[in-house]
Chains A and B, each alone.
Chain A
Amino acid sequence: EEQLVESGGGLVQPGGSLRLSCAASGFIFSTYEFNWVRQAPGKGLEWISYISDTESAIYYADSVRGRFTVSRDNTQNLLYLQMSSLRAEDTALYYCAREKAAAGGDSLDIWGQGTMVTVSS
């Protein structure tokens, strides 16, 4: 079964840092591209980052650029999101999601269950 499982969420103080992980299984991780999408409590979906299969292309939403860093380890089938200078408005459920097609921008066909990040003092 093709699956993504996020971890690393938790409670962090404003200005703090956190690293999220997304473990992939059931497919050849290194050939796919990925995104991070978040959802604040009771709110809609917000795309925040994209990474290509070889990390040659990386994009961020304006809301997180300069504070968040996406990376991947194709030997361990892991996707990461390093978050720093966290703000209250970063509080959300963070999903990793797989690109359906090569080159990206098509759609997101596999989603994890999400990991909750709460930024509060």
Chain B
Amino acid sequence: QSALTQPPSASGSPGQSVTISCTGTSRDVGAYNFVSWYQQHPGKAPKLIIYEVYKRPSGVPDRFSGSKSGNTASLTVSGLQAEDEADYYCCSHGGSNPFYVFGTGTKVTVL
């Protein structure tokens, strides 16, 4: 099964918003409300920032928001800050094979 499709890059100035799309299929993103997003800074482990499409773990700023429509999920980062510069990966449950499928990743640059 192929990875979920994300744009390779996205950028915005401090204070602006950036939205990252994540396109899957009816077997993964479209089938389950188990879409999650991970932030990964260089040399660091991924960090969960959104789960179950739109929910935020404790400690994650409300500048991060998630949504889904059909086979496409989206992550919006509002009020961009320098520390938001990182790689972002979406992920969806895919049944038992595969159990999870990750997105191709998007590098967010804060201009």
Q: Which residues of chain A are within 8 angstroms of B52 by Cβ–Cβ distance?
A: 106-107
Q: Which residue of B lies closest to A108 (CB)?
A: B48
Chain B contact-residue range equals 20 to 34
Docked-complex contact B57 and A109, CB < 8 angstroms: yes
Any chain B CB within 8 A of the CB of A112? yes
Cβ contact within 8 Å between B34 and A105: yes
A95 proximal to B (CB < 8 A): yes
Hey, which chain B residues are within 8 Å of A104, CB to CB? Answer: 99
Task: Specify which of A50, A105, A111 lies most central, judged by the most chain B CB atoms within 10 Å of its CB.
Answer: A105
- Closest approach, in angstroms, between the C-beta of A113 and any C-beta of chain B? 6
Q: Which residue of A lies closest to B6 (CB)?
A: A44
* Chain A minimum-CB-distance residue to B37: A107
The verdict on A35 contacting chain B, using a C-beta distance below 8 Å, is yes
Which of B47, B96, B101 sits near A47, CB closer than 8 Å?
A: B101
A62 close to chain B: CB less than 8 A: yes
Name, among A37, A45, A109, the residue most crowded by chain B CB atoms within 10 Å (CB to CB).
A45
- In chain B, what residue has the closest Cβ to A110? B48
- Chain B CB within 8 A of A46 CB: yes
Chain A residues lying within 8 Å of B97, measured Cβ to Cβ, are: 59, 62
| Residue in A closest to B4 when the chains form the complex, CB atoms | A44
Residue pairs across A and B with Cβ atoms less than 8 A apart, 25 shown, are A35-B100, A44-B89, A44-B105, A45-B38, A45-B89, A47-B100, A50-B99, A59-B97, A62-B97, A62-B98, A100-B57, A105-B100, A106-B34, A106-B36, A106-B52, A106-B93, A107-B36, A108-B48, A108-B91, A109-B48, A109-B51, A111-B45, A111-B46, A112-B45, A113-B45
